Amino acid sequence: MAESIKPWWQHGVFYQIYPRSFQDSNADGVGDIRGIIDRLPYLQALGVDAIWLSPIFPSPMADFGYDISDYTGIDRLFGSMGDFEALLDAAHAGGLKVILDLVPNHTSDQHPWFLESRRSKDNPKRDWYIWRDPTTDGGPPNNWLSEFGGSAWNYDASTAQYYYHAFLSQQPDLNWRNPAVRHAIQDVMRFWLRKGVDGFRVDVIWHLIKDAEFRDNPLNSAFQEGRPPHERLSPLHSTDQPEVHDVIAEMRRVIDEFDSRVLIGEIYLPPERLVTYYGRDLGGAQLPFNFALLSAPWNARSIEKIIHDYEGALPAGAWPNWVLGNHDRPRVASRVGHDQARVAAMLLLTLRGTPTLYYGDELGMRQVAIAPDQVRDPFEKNVPDIGVGRDGCRTPMQWDATRYAGFSTSTPWLPVAKDSVHENVVNLAADMRSILSLYKALIGLRRKLPLLQLGDYVPVTADGDLLLYRRERSGSSLTIALNLGDQPVSIASGAARLSGTILLSTFPDRARETIEGGLDLRGNEGVIIDTSGIYAG
């Protein structure tokens, strides 16, 4: 396929927005759609191609929007349908795609479907959810555990049965073995696609089908104390069932009814299982999210192996993707350190595949410590004291040095980071040495150079803290050299082809530097080298 007609999602850069925390336009302390519209010029200047919004649908907010009570509306907290349509129009006019977060595994317990299902055992919607009789001693149907703590079964006294919830009890799981459920969610997809939405990121897509026999999950022999309690069991029968791929193929067929749309799947699985979600004949998710970097030990050999294993597992024709941060995991700058966050940015934006940025990572935003009386995350409330809270990566975007960092004029729903006085968009945009300037330069270079968008990934042998690889296509190549340590390293030329021009360094003083026969890297430095001479001008 010619480069000019590659799907937009193969060469684009995605940017995740957590709407509650991006920009508040009406002084209620919570971000909203109008706030996102106000900040579109920033996103355009950053250079991203698509924005993905965490859920903005009506919700009781037990899990901050991941408990949906109406799939085809907009929660008043975020604005109106008119506001959303204005966002779509403004984003598209500015060259930005808009991706919505589809949450089809479960609804809110306040969704009309569940209220009907709960009414009686013979209600027409009873089988839209997963109901089971108690065991002979009155206990839950099996040993499955909720990811938010405790049993995954909630007893409903009015009908004397348990319903299944993989997360909060206020988030009952839909029964995806029921064709009516599939058709209902497919109609939801069509509703938004007809409005012009450019695709969906599908929440916990590997959860959709459960074992038909509801067998107990086995013990996890690798469980370590201090980890979330649900990890004591391996989810052999409650996730990643073979039949889920038929469900995803049906979703993909809905996507394919419309031009130039994309289906993204949230999947936390090892690479050999993850890649099955591309589907037979690649008729599944176009981008099954690859989260390997979110929990990787930050050293060169571990990262090298992750890339090798993932690239090796990809089926023919599958397009890779990479993620450094999201709304569920600690901030990358806190995971790898402030200096290495710059190297991580270069890694993300030079690997083969579609990159997804998490809002604020381009500022080097850190995980914020949340005082006990300010905790909002239900996961942390249900499973305290082991550091699973997600509030610290969801704090308000740091726009400027004002009291609430330019996010709001009222007290925000989560506290603003103390370093926002210095680490904010206004300050960092004015500093050519900042991480924000680096992100802009990386995205700009990626947009300019087809090799960074579509070139092959070719590993180069290295040791110690050094990670080396090339991007090659049609006889041209770029070499990326990343020092994942804090001590200087020297590289002899050899097979690395280290002769050429440095196009970009994580340190701004090396641009256009010519190198011959080797390279010295400072600690925490990464460089992109034109080893073909085609970009030297």
Question: Is residue 472 among the annotated active site residues?
Answer: no
pLDDT of amino acid 517? 82
Instruction: Based on DSSP, count helices (H) and strands (E) in the chain, helices before strands.
Output: 15, 19
For domain 456-530, give its CATH number from 3.40.50.300, 1.10.8.60, 2.60.40.1180, 3.40.140.10.
2.60.40.1180
Domain positions in the chain: 3-108+176-367+376-443, 456-530
537, pLDDT greater than 60: no
For residue range 144-173, list pLDDT tens digits in order.
999 999 999 999 999 999 999 999 999 999
For residue 155, the number of C-alpha atoms closer than 13 Å in the C-beta half-sphere is 9
Q: What would the mean pLDDT of 95-108 be, rounded to a whole number?
A: 98
Q: What would the mean pLDDT of 10-36 be, rounded to a whole number?
A: 98
For residue range 498-510, list pLDDT tens digits in order.
889 999 999 988 8
Tokens of 200: 């969906």
Backbone angles phi, psi at 300, to 5 degrees: -60, -45
Neighbours of 38 (CB within 10 A): 15
For residue 529, which of 498, 507, 492 has the smallest C-alpha distance?
498
For residue range 177-208, list pLDDT tens digits in order.
999 999 999 999 999 999 999 999 999 999 99
Q: Which of 63, 198, 203, 380 is catalytic?
A: 203
Supply the angle between the helices 81-93 and 179-195 in degrees, to the nearest 10: 60
Beta pairing class for 526-530 and 476-483: antiparallel
For residue range 29-78, list pLDDT tens digits in order.
999 999 999 999 999 999 999 999 999 999 999 999 999 999 999 999 99
For residue range 222-251, list pLDDT tens digits in order.
999 999 999 999 999 999 999 999 999 999
Backbone angles phi, psi at 104, to 5 degrees: -95, -5
Average pLDDT of the chain to the nearest whole number? 96
At the second CATH level, the architecture of 3-108+176-367+376-443 is Alpha-Beta Barrel (3.20)
pLDDT of amino acid 1? 41
Q: Which of 3, 133, 187, 257 is catalytic?
A: 257
Residue 494 banded pLDDT, cuts 50, 70, 90: low
For residue range 350-408, list pLDDT tens digits in order.
999 999 999 999 999 999 999 999 999 999 999 998 989 999 999 999 999 999 999 99
pLDDT of amino acid 497? 64
Q: What is the pTM of this model?
A: 0.97
pLDDT above 90 as % of the chain: 93
Question: Is residue 257 among the annotated active site residues?
Answer: yes
